[in-house]
Structures are given as C-alpha cells and as structure tokens.
Chain A
C-alpha cells in the first residue's frame, strides 16, 4: 500500500524539466569571432548550424550579427531564426586574425563559462575573417563546421599536432612555461585550406608561420612522435629532394642549472627515418651514401631549427615550452621573480639533431 502512495506521489511531483527536443533546436556547430568596423558593436559573430530542409535533406544555415560582446551578439542571433539556439554541439570556434592579435582571452572565457559548451571545442584561426570561412558555401561538401572539424582532426592525426581545444589552449595559456599555438585557415577559390600556424604570446597572436617553416616547429614539439619530412638538400653538386617518414626516438630538452644568466638550453632529438622519395642520382641504399645524407639532413635540421628558434625568441613566443624546463631547475622564489619572456629571449638555445636512415623503402 505504501508503495502505491509513493508511486502516485512520484508522478505528481515530477514536473517537466525544460524540454529540448532536437527537432526544434538549432544546434550551432561552429562560431566565428571577428572584429568589425562598427564602433558601437566591435564584435562580429558568425554562427552556423544544420537544418533539415523541407525535402528532408540535411543543410546548413549561417547567420552573422554584430554585437558588443560574444554573448550579447548571441542574444541578437536568437532573434534571427525560428529555431531555439543551443550551443552544446559547438565543434569549432574560429577567430579572425585581427581579433586574435588583440587577444583571445575574453571570448575564450565566455566560451568556457557556459556549462553547455564542452571543453573539447576545437579552436582555429582564420587568415582574414572568420566569417568568410564560415559563410563559404562549398557545393556538395556539406557543413563547413564538420569540414573544419574533420580537417583539424586529420591534421592532428597526420601528426601536425595542431589540434587545440579550449581546454588545451587555456591550459597552456595559464602555464607560464609554454605558449599555445593555433592552426590558420584561409579561403582560397572554393576551398578552405590550412595555411600555417599562429604563434601566441600569452593570448595575443604575434605571427603566423608558413607551413614550410612550421614543419621544423613540429620536429621540436614533444607531442610529435612521427611525421613526414620533405626537404631540398645539397648532395654534391646538385639539389635533391628527399622525403622521409620519420619517427622521433628520443626527444629531450635540457636546461642545465647554471646560477648565472643567461640560461642555456639544448634540444636533443633523434630521428629514425625511412626514405620514401629521393630525386638525387645516388644509390640511397648504399650505407656510405646514407651516412652522407644523414649528416647533410642533420646539418640542415640544426641550421633551420636554430633559425626558427631564434625567430621565436625574438618574437617572445615559447611554443616549445622551454620555460618549463627552466622552471624545473629553479627555486620557487627565483621563478616568480624571473621575467620569463626576457630570459627566454636572452637564452642560448642549441639544437642537436641526430638523423638515422633506416631503409630506402621497397626499392633499392
């Protein structure tokens, strides 16, 4: 008897939670933030979400508004669509270059404060305006948001390791030992293409690295365990092009604890590669030639690496996280007192690579 009363009571008491049935929702899958020319409304917000057309086909809709802040612009978007907007399925968040140079933090904070947005939202930069990227209607390619997300996942898997989601960005932003990076997309003709890496000083974009330079960056980032290395090398009289599938066997950043400034750091990497393409005339399977090529590649990597790192130091960006290792050698008070970027700039960073060729593929 008791149980029956209880069950009736349960049914009386359970009202409805607010229903969010998916057919009535506009599930935003990508947002773009730009600076607009409007002074009163400095932020341009672009949202795109999928809809199902009358024929039952899956299509998308993009809306662009200008507002004061990201959430305020969001409220304006609400008035422009018949569906109920929900951010829970946001996959990608794009930032225009101008906005990124001013600083991403305020917008990121509004993204992270919202409990319905997950922390796995991928972040990326747009070379010009994020709205261009999102507004582009590529025929037969479906949703831009899924395209971008897939692109980013692919980049991650292809070991460009540029996959950055909100959690990772904020983590590296707040960590004084490393700076975050983001991939850059650009609109070209009828396609969205990846065009380099954006380097950040704290949360402000400083410079965009071209893809060719970015390759060296990835060699030194420790998350990259495998990759593809394509370069022109000087073998003897002519230039030959070589492509390696490499695997990083050993990655080491050492900062010897010297009490005097400037600090020193050394980056050691050891690569083992399989030759996949070689346009030179020599017989790449001969061990003497291999050793010669190894030395040449090593020298090249050291040289380019040093150049790249010098550039990073000048720009005061630390995507390799060298400061983390500096932190490991110091006491807390020292670390607190240190001017991190200045000391990073003054540091003497060596690159020591060691390239070993494993095989020449299936052909001798």
Chain B
C-alpha cells in the first residue's frame, strides 16, 4: 500500500479548501439577508449568485490555462517591483483586513449569543493562536489540516433533517421576489457570503489535475449547503418571521433536540468557528504570499508574527457589531472588485506579453 506524496494539492483538497474559505460567518444570517434582498422565495436568487461566482472561477481557470500553468507571481514578474508594489499592498491590506474582521465578527456574535460576560480579547487570542499554528506552515500542510477539519464540520449539514417535519411548502408562498427587496445592494451582500474563492488564484497552479473541476466543485459544495439551509429556512419560518430573526441559522440549530442532549446550538456554533478560522487563515496566508513576493528578504517567521501583531491591534478598533459591519461592507466591496479585476488583469498581461513576444519573434 504505497501512497505517493507529492507537494501538490489533490483536486479534492483544493475543493475543500475553497469550501472552507467561503463558508464563514455570513451563513448565520444568510436566510435573513436573502429574504431582505430578494423577497419571497429568495433562495432562487442565491442560485443566480452562485452562478456568477462560477463565472469568476472560470476566469481564474482561464488565467491558469492561458499562462500554461504559471503561478500568479510568475505572471506579474514581468512588471518591475515598484509598479506592482502599490497594487499588491492594497490587495494584501484588503485581504488581511477581511480575514481579521471575519474573525472579529464571529467573536462578537459568539459573545452576544453565548458568552456575554467574557471580554473579546480571549476569543480573539484563541483564534490567533490557532491561526499562528497554521500560518507558519506552507500551503500543503495547511491543506492537510483542512481535510480533517472538513470531516469534522460537515456532519452539521445533516442536522437539517431535524427541521423537515416543520417544513411546509405552502409557507414558501407562490410569489417570487416580492416584498420589499433591495436587489443590488442586498445581492452584493449575499455575494460576499460566497467570497473567498478568489484566493484560488494563488494556488490554482498547485492543483494536481483537473483544476477547473476542482474549483467548481468547491464552490458547488458551498452553494449547495447555503441553498439547502436557505431553502429549509424559507419553509420553516414564515416570511415575516424570517425578516425579523437576526440569526436564523442559530435558531434552526437551537431547534434540534436529541434525547440525551438538547440545545446543541452552542456546540455547533463553536464548531463553525473552525470554519471561520480557516477563512481567516487563508486570507492571511494570501497576504503573506503577496508581501513575501514583494519583499523577498523578510523571513517567513517574522512576516507571520508581524501580520498577526498588526491584525491583533486592528481587531480592537471596532467596538461594536455595527462598526464591524461597516468595515466589512467596505472591505468586501473591495475584495469583490479584486476578485473580478485581478484575473482579468492577469489575462490582459498574459495576452499582451504573448503579443509582444510574437512581435519580437517576428522582427
């Protein structure tokens, strides 16, 4: 029984990685956001948004294919460092802030719901300790932990079965997208729930084989889970009730009761924390890769400690959930634009360099 170990990501690992990055803190309020954004039967809108993400993933794969397997850094090495500096710094800062704010938001929700007397610093410290343990390794090692974490957290999906007795199709109402909807802004905030896939631009070249399929599968896992939860919520809660529930998924979890144990929402919420952890770790890893590319001389360990210290200090700036939400709105807008523009930019670079090369060859 010999198993070959290569320093590449298997496609399954990459899919799981994408699923874990995407699945984060927005899941808890997702059904409400969908109801606010799209109105009744809003889960259909979720399908549309997932489709848009798929398009973006195809773009990223396209970059990989057209460049014939080069990593992103190889592609942008055409430009001198001082040109790429402002852009990579911007992207690095956006990604770092996103990773940190996601963890801060999760800690705040944790505090509000379950541990109101504990100061935030403890949650954040625990989160940063785990982040540090993962960040100091390279991607391959991180991917190994992610597979195990995936198995550890995937069983929560099956808990949805408990809600089926209370599910009713008539509650879905025959109206589609009615009610006070806010399609564009609301749709954008739902899009950010699926954000995270753009980090795949950094590791798409490390996927062993069938990279496109692996990326799409990863997004599909997330989308299917989101869709399942949203669909069940729409049939479980009545529409107006859904608009008023702050965290419908937490209520769903709280509704489950086993004969030996009840109110497991506490436990499952903490298990979700591991998924949020992966989101933070991967975004910080993206930051680390970018900064390392720009400043090759910094040692990896210092860089990791530096990022964590900066992150730690930044996490105290927002004091209440409202502040964090505001930060997150701006950051996610930037991250969304990066997600779309970066692969386009890389494509243009490759194509133009190809054209230039051909010209040079012809002369």
**A235: CB under 8 A from chain B?**
no
**B254 to A: closest C-beta gap in Å:** 5
Q: Does B241 contact A115, Cβ atoms closer than 8 Å?
A: no
Answer whether A325 and B170 are a contact pair too, CB < 8 Å, given A18-B118, A115-B113, A174-B240. yes
Answer whether A172 and B238 are a contact pair too, CB < 8 Å, given A10-B129, A115-B112. yes
A324 to B170 CA separation, bound complex (whole angstroms)? 7
A325 to B174 CA separation, bound complex (whole angstroms)? 10
Q: Does A13 contact B122, Cβ atoms closer than 8 Å?
A: yes
**B250 to A: closest C-beta gap in Å:** 8
Answer whether A171 and B238 are a contact pair too, CB < 8 Å, given A177-B170, A325-B170, A327-B173. yes
Q: Does A15 contact B174, Cβ atoms closer than 8 Å?
A: no
The contact string, 1 if C-beta is below 8 Å from chain B, for chain A 165-204, is: 0011011111111000000000000000000000000000
Contacts of B115 in A (CB 8 A): 17-18
**Which of A118, A177, A325 has a CB less than 8 Å from the CB of B263?**
A118
A170 to B114 CA separation, bound complex (whole angstroms)? 23
**B111 to A: closest C-beta gap in Å:** 10
Answer whether A332 and B178 are a contact pair too, CB < 8 Å, given A15-B122, A177-B170. yes
A170 to B166 CA separation, bound complex (whole angstroms)? 13
**B171: CB under 8 A from chain A?**
yes
The contact string, 1 if C-beta is below 8 Å from chain B, for chain A 324-345, is: 1101100110010000000000
**A71: CB under 8 A from chain B?**
no
The contact string, 1 if C-beta is below 8 Å from chain B, for chain A 313-332, is: 00000000100110110011
**A84: CB under 8 A from chain B?**
no
**B303 to A: closest C-beta gap in Å:** 16
**B258: CB under 8 A from chain A?**
no
Q: Does A167 contact B238, Cβ atoms closer than 8 Å?
A: no
Q: Does B178 contact A13, Cβ atoms closer than 8 Å?
A: no
A14 to B126 CA separation, bound complex (whole angstroms)? 8
The size of the chain B interface, using a CB distance under 8 A, is 32
Q: Does A119 contact B170, Cβ atoms closer than 8 Å?
A: no
**A120: CB under 8 A from chain B?**
yes
**Which of A17, A118, A170, A328 has a CB less than 8 Å from the CB of B174?**
A328
The contact string, 1 if C-beta is below 8 Å from chain A, for chain B 29-56, is: 0000000000000000000000000000
Q: Does A6 contact B238, Cβ atoms closer than 8 Å?
A: no
**A9: CB under 8 A from chain B?**
yes
Answer whether A327 and B122 are a contact pair too, CB < 8 Å, given A167-B251, A174-B241, A175-B239. no
Contacts of B166 in A (CB 8 A): 168
**A163 to B: closest C-beta gap in Å:** 11
A9 to B263 CA separation, bound complex (whole angstroms)? 32
Mark out the residues of chain A between 82 and 101 whose CB falls within 8 Å of any chain B CB in the assembled complex. Answer: 88
A113 to B263 CA separation, bound complex (whole angstroms)? 16
**B158: CB under 8 A from chain A?**
no
Contacts of B239 in A (CB 8 A): 174-175
Closest to B178 in A: A332
Closest to B118 in A: A17
Contacts of A120 in B (CB 8 A): 254-255, 257, 262
A317 to B244 CA separation, bound complex (whole angstroms)? 24
**B175: CB under 8 A from chain A?**
yes
**B237: CB under 8 A from chain A?**
yes
**B177 to A: closest C-beta gap in Å:** 9
Answer whether A119 and B238 are a contact pair too, CB < 8 Å, given A6-B129, A18-B118, A332-B178. no
User: A residues near B, CB below 8 A?
Assistant: 6, 9-10, 13-15, 17-18, 88, 115, 118-120, 167-168, 170-177, 321, 324-325, 327-328, 331-332, 335
Extra contacts besides A6-B133, A171-B171 (6): CB < 8 Å? A6-B129, A14-B122, A115-B114, A175-B171, A321-B170, A328-B174
